[in-house]
Amino acid sequence: MNPILIHEVGPRDGLQNESRVVPTATKLDWIRRVADSGVDLVQVGSFVRSDKLPQMADTDDLFRILGGENHRAVFSGLVLNEKGLERAMEVGVGMICMGVSASDTHSRKNTGMSTEEATSRIVAMAKAAQKTGRRVQVSVQSAFGCGFEGVVPFERVRTLVEAYLEAGLHSISLADTAGHAHPAQIRRYLRCFLELDPSAEFTAHIHNTYGLGMANVYAALDAGAASIETSFGGLGGCPFTKVASGNVATEDLVHGLQRNGQRTDVDLGALLGVARDVSDFFGRELPGCVHKVGIVNPRGQA
């Protein structure tokens, strides 16, 4: 069995909805510690306009600095349009992430484009990036429901997945942007999409809006997801959805996996330290659990 890949998205998804801007030096400290903990990928930031998301204003600088260092993890970055892709290519992003919302309302609020328009542009961008030898991940946002539209028909999600696969894009993230997913839905979607292309690698990006986050993560793994996207302390939430709610906490995921003998190569103590520092910086309790209560001892007793 291949190890479950862990994609830390805290520096991007975790911080993007925070009004207090984190200094670049502080971000670098958090990113470096997470990147050296043993997780596989760290999403450093998004290439967006600084007037829209001031928290992401230093994304280019972060990549330039980190690009000159040696770390265990691959650094990823999110792009929304062609200009963002140009910036990402210029600073040498290790994995370029981009996506389309299955909800037309969310798509327009997030990118200013309809789902149909965004699909054609994102597919073209992803293929162009792949031709340069870049690692590329595409996503379906609001894949399991939308805060504005409610139910998102399965057929809309399947259409996007098929468009990606037909374009030769086989690394696909299914994002529960609004946190509406439930375990049976997660299993059904993933199993269906893996039948379309068993060689595709699917990632689950889960939000914990209604308390089903960890249950949905395990449903995704049970159905064949290769990777999970999480955030330190459970911080995060899309500022362009109706109810912005946190992610599953990276340290909670790692703690659960390690109790089952998986991903024991990851330094859980380092992740706990970052989550506590993030909590201290913002001066509030974060949604994650393990950084507050501590780990279950190695013998499996509480």
Which residues have a catalytic role annotated?
A: 238
What's the distance, CA 62 to chain centroid?
A: 18
Residue with tokens 């499996």: 300
Structure tokens that stand for 91 in this block: 């600073």
In residues, how long is the chain? 302
Question: Residue 81's CB: how many other CB atoms inside 10 A?
Answer: 18
Q: Is 117 exposed, middle or buried (0-12, 13-18, 19+ CB in 10 A)?
A: middle
Structure tokens that stand for 184 in this block: 């049976």
Closest CA to 226 of 198, 252, 254: 198
* Euclidean distance between CA atoms 201 and 169, whole angstroms: 10
Closest CA to 141 of 114, 165, 174, 109: 174
Closest CA to 223 of 253, 257, 193, 178: 193
- Specify which residues 43 forms β-bridges with: 76
SS3 221: helix
Structure tokens that stand for 227 in this block: 């990777």
